[in-house]
């Protein structure tokens, strides 16, 4: 079961028009991610890391190719069906936490669960458990502005996994933190992935953090290839 593929990208093309110029960002990109696996995506800026994550997370349609999540081929699905898969099967973490400033840490983690149809009591219990797991249970009643950068990012990670997704996609999740805080936040993220059996694809410039993951990939000429630091 541990080797089950939960995300597969096959023959992905993604282009952007810029005036009369067409930028080919992804060109026949293939990638797969297994349950419980952490993969670092290490590549220079402008090579398509964010595009790959957006396509993988159904935030963008590829121009060609197929995205399969949890055994479901997604390219031909309706927008409503894609939204449902994204909501239930994919969690996102970004460099900047994007927490809702008017809500507490606990309420931020409850929000996606309430949208998914859980009761307030269930959502509150799950949010409280996640805050405890991330070692910030005592900060649940605080709003984002009252939290440190590392605490904010741990809340963002907890929010991303609140609906128990199959896949976690993270775009430079520690890029806005000092090295010591980044290491601590990544350790919390890594423990959460191992404990829950999540599959995680994490874009990072931090080679020390990348070396702690199961494997590393990069983007060369629009394709995903294995990477060795």
Tokens of 168: 């976690």
By the 8 A CB rule, do 93 and 161 touch? Answer: no
Decide if 25 is inside a domain: no
Per-residue pLDDT of the chain (229 residues; tens, 9 = 90+): 345 999 999 999 999 887 778 888 999 999 999 998 899 999 887 788 889 999 999 999 999 999 999 999 998 899 999 998 988 899 988 777 789 999 999 999 999 899 888 999 999 999 999 998 888 889 999 999 999 888 888 899 889 888 889 999 998 887 777 888 788 778 878 888 888 888 999 998 888 888 889 999 999 999 999 987 5
By the 8 A CB rule, do 32 and 54 touch? Answer: no
Can you give the pLDDT at residue 55?
95
Decide if 118 is inside a domain: yes
Can you give the pLDDT at residue 121?
94
Residue 208 CA to residue 229 CA, distance in Å, equals 10
Residue 165 CA to residue 201 CA, distance in Å, equals 13
Can you give the pLDDT at residue 1?
39
> Across the strands, what pairs with 68?
8, 73
The range of the structural domain enclosing residue 144 comes to 36-58+78-214
CATH number of the structural domain spanning residue 171: 3.40.50.300
Domain count, the chain: 1
Helix (H, G, I), strand (E, B) or coil at 2: coil
Residue 155 CA to residue 34 CA, distance in Å, equals 25
Count of CA atoms in the C-beta half-sphere (13 A) of 14: 26
Decide if 5 is inside a domain: no
Decide if 71 is inside a domain: no
Determine the Cα angle at 73 with ends 199 and 190, to 5°.
5
Decide if 29 is inside a domain: no
- Render pLDDT for 181-197 as a digit per residue (tens, 0 to 9): 788 778 878 888 888 88
Residue 6 CA to residue 216 CA, distance in Å, equals 17
């Amino acid at each position: 079961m541990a080797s089950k593929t939960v995300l597969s990208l096959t023959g992905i093309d993604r282009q952007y028009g810029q005036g009369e110029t067409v930028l080919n960002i992804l060109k026949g990109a293939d990638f797969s991610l297994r349950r419980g696996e952490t993969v670092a995506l290490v590549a220079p800026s402008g090579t398509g890391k964010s595009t790959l994550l957006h396509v993988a997370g159904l935030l963008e349609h590829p121009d060609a190719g197929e995205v399969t999540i949890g055994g479901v081929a997604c390219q031909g699905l309706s927008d409503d069906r894609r939204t449902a898969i994204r909501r239930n099967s994919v969690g996102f973490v970004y460099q900047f936490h994007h927490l809702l400033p008017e809500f507490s840490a606990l309420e931020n983690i409850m929000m996606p669960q309430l949208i998914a149809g859980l009761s307030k009591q269930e959502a509150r219990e799950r949010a409280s458990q996640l805050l405890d797991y991330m070692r910030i249970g005592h900060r649940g009643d605080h709003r984002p502005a009252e939290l440190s950068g590392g605490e904010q990012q741990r809340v963002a990670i907890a929010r991303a996994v609140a609906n128990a997704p199959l896949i976690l996609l993270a775009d430079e999740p520690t890029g806005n933190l000092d090295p010591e805080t980044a290491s601590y936040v990544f350790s919390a993220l890594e423990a959460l992935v191992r404990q829950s059996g999540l599959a995680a694809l994490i874009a990072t410039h931090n080679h020390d953090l990348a070396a702690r993951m199961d494997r590393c990939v990069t983007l060369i000429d629009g394709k995903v290839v294995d990477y060795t630091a």
